[in-house]
Amino acid sequence: MTGYSSAGRSYVAVEDAGGVMRDLSPWVERVGPLGRELAGRDAAGVNDATPRTAAGTDTAQEFTLSGRWDDTPDIGPDAVLSGIVGMAVAVEYGPAGNGPGRRRVSGRFVCLSYRISSASGEPVRFEARFRQDGPAALGTW
């Protein structure tokens, strides 16, 4: 998966196990693709000379969050993400922040995994993988 380097401008909030939205922006460095995606279906007729496609239903897309691991109680990525694996939670993403008029992607997603990794001499990292659970909305703040 490719991703967008947040570089400190993006806003990412994830609902914790208690139902509270938590801003993970200070720790998130990459957001794997997140938006809206539709399945296409073949709409060509018997006498059509070229292919035709009609938009289908929303696909159940997946995306990842990754960045610097922190176990700060209640607010750090470890406290938020470790408690929601297997749960459907709200996610809000603003690629250019959460100011008025900025793009907002939101929806409910199941947290499929939460992993921690490290390499010698490198900071400890985290990665969480989510799968869509209902419609994703493209709007503005």
Distance in angstroms (rounded) separating the CA atoms of residues 40 and 58? 9
Assigned domain for 47 exists: no
Q: Is the pLDDT of residue 126 over 50?
A: yes
- Alpha helices (runs of H) in 7-116, residue ranges in sequence order: 77-81
Least Cα distance to 31 among 52, 12, 8, 55 occurs for: 12
Q: Assess if residue 27 is contained within a domain.
A: yes
- Lowest pLDDT segment from 25-29, 32-36, 94-98, 135-139: 32-36
The predicted structure's pLDDT at residue 119 = 85
Instruction: Decide if 20 is inside a domain.
Output: yes
Average pLDDT over residues 120-128: 92
Residue 112 lies in a domain: yes
| The two three-digit tokens of residue 71, written as one number | 């176990």
Report if residue 44 sits inside a domain.
Answer: no
pTM (whole model) above 0.75: yes
Per-residue burial over 53-65, b if 16 or more Cβ lie within 10 Å, else e, is: eeeeeeeebbbbb
Predicted pLDDT of residue 4: 47
What's the CATH code of the domain at 29? 2.40.30
Please indicate, yes or no, if residue 131 is contained in any of the structural domains. Answer: yes
Which residues form the domain of 115? 4-35+55-140
Residue 113, strand partner residues: 129
Residue 130 lies in a domain: yes
Mean pLDDT of the chain: 85
* pLDDT value of residue 122: 87
Output the six-digit token pair for 3: 């991703």
- Quote the number of domains for the chain: 1
**42 located within any domain:** no
Q: What is the pLDDT of residue 40?
A: 67
